[in-house]
Structures are given as structure tokens and as C-alpha cells.
């Protein structure tokens, strides 16, 4: 009884019903999506800094908006940190794999 070798990842295309690739449905790579998300988090933090400075200089008329901007920025930074932690965990798991 002959034993066949392990096939490459391209053999999974039929099982999944779609092609296996590193791109999303829109054709963006994971790196592009991650870079865009980090840029968005940075932009939200900059908006938060501007609104906090406006509040301190008494130019802001609505404290509610300043608090909302602060929370949006905090959530974006927390998300970026969690994604980084998961990527580091996945990388370390790959390093521990025996070939």
C-alpha cells in the first residue's frame, strides 16, 4: 500500500470552497489592514489630544464630546495592544512548533 506525501496548502482550496491566500475579500493584505487600523488608532488619539486641550483652554463647549473622544481613543489603543499581543503569541507558538 503506497503512502502519499503531504500535499501543499493549495490542496485545501477545494475543501474550503475558496482560494487560500493572505488577502482579504477586497484584495487587501493583512499587513495593509493592520497598518490602516494602527493609523486609525493614532488619528483617534490625536483627536482626543486636541479635544482635551480645547477643554483645558475652555474652548470646548461640550464635556460630553471630550469624554466620548477620550473613550474612543482608549478603546482603539486597547484593541491595538490586544492585536499585538495575539500576534506575538501566535509567533511564539510557531517558534515552539517542531518540524
pLDDT single digits (tens) 14-60: 444 444 455 556 667 878 888 888 888 889 888 888 888 888 887 76
* Closest to 75 in 3D by CA, of 44, 49, 54: 44
pLDDT at 52: 84
| More confident site: 6 or 94 | 94
Q: Is residue 78 part of a domain?
A: yes
Cα separation, 10 vs 8, in Å, equals: 5
Half-sphere exposure for 37 (CA within 13 Å, toward CB): 17
Q: Is residue 91 part of a domain?
A: yes
Q: Are 43 and 69 in contact (CB under 8 A)?
A: no
- Say which DSSP state 99 is in: -
Q: Is residue 5 part of a domain?
A: no
Q: Is residue 36 part of a domain?
A: yes
Phi-psi group of 7: left, alpha or beta (phi > 0 → left; psi -120 to 50 → alpha; rest → beta): beta
Provide the grid cell at 37. Answer: 487600523
pLDDT at 48: 87
Q: Is residue 22 part of a domain?
A: no
Instruction: Grade residue 69 by pLDDT with cuts at 50, 70 and 90.
Output: confident
Give how many domains the chain has, as a whole number.
1
Q: Is residue 10 part of a domain?
A: no
Q: Is residue 13 part of a domain?
A: no
pLDDT digits over 76-87, tens only? 889 889 988 999
Q: Is residue 4 part of a domain?
A: no
**Residue 52 domain boundaries:** 29-96
Cβ neighbour number for residue 32 with a 10 Å cutoff = 13
Q: For the residues 59-77, what does the mean pLDDT come to? A: 84
Amino acid at each position: 500500500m503506497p503512502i502519499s506525501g503531504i500535499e501543499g496548502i493549495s490542496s485545501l482550496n477545494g475543501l474550503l470552497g475558496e482560494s487560500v491566500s493572505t488577502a482579504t475579500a477586497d484584495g487587501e493584505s493583512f499587513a495593509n489592514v493592520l497598518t490602516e487600523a494602527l493609523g486609525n488608532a493614532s488619528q483617534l488619539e490625536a483627536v482626543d489630544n486636541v479635544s482635551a486641550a480645547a477643554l483645558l483652554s475652555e474652548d470646548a463647549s461640550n464635556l460630553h464630546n471630550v469624554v466620548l473622544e477620550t473613550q474612543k481613543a482608549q478603546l482603539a489603543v486597547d484593541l491595538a495592544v490586544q492585536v499585538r499581543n495575539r500576534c506575538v503569541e501566535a509567533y511564539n507558538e510557531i517558534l515552539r512548533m517542531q518540524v
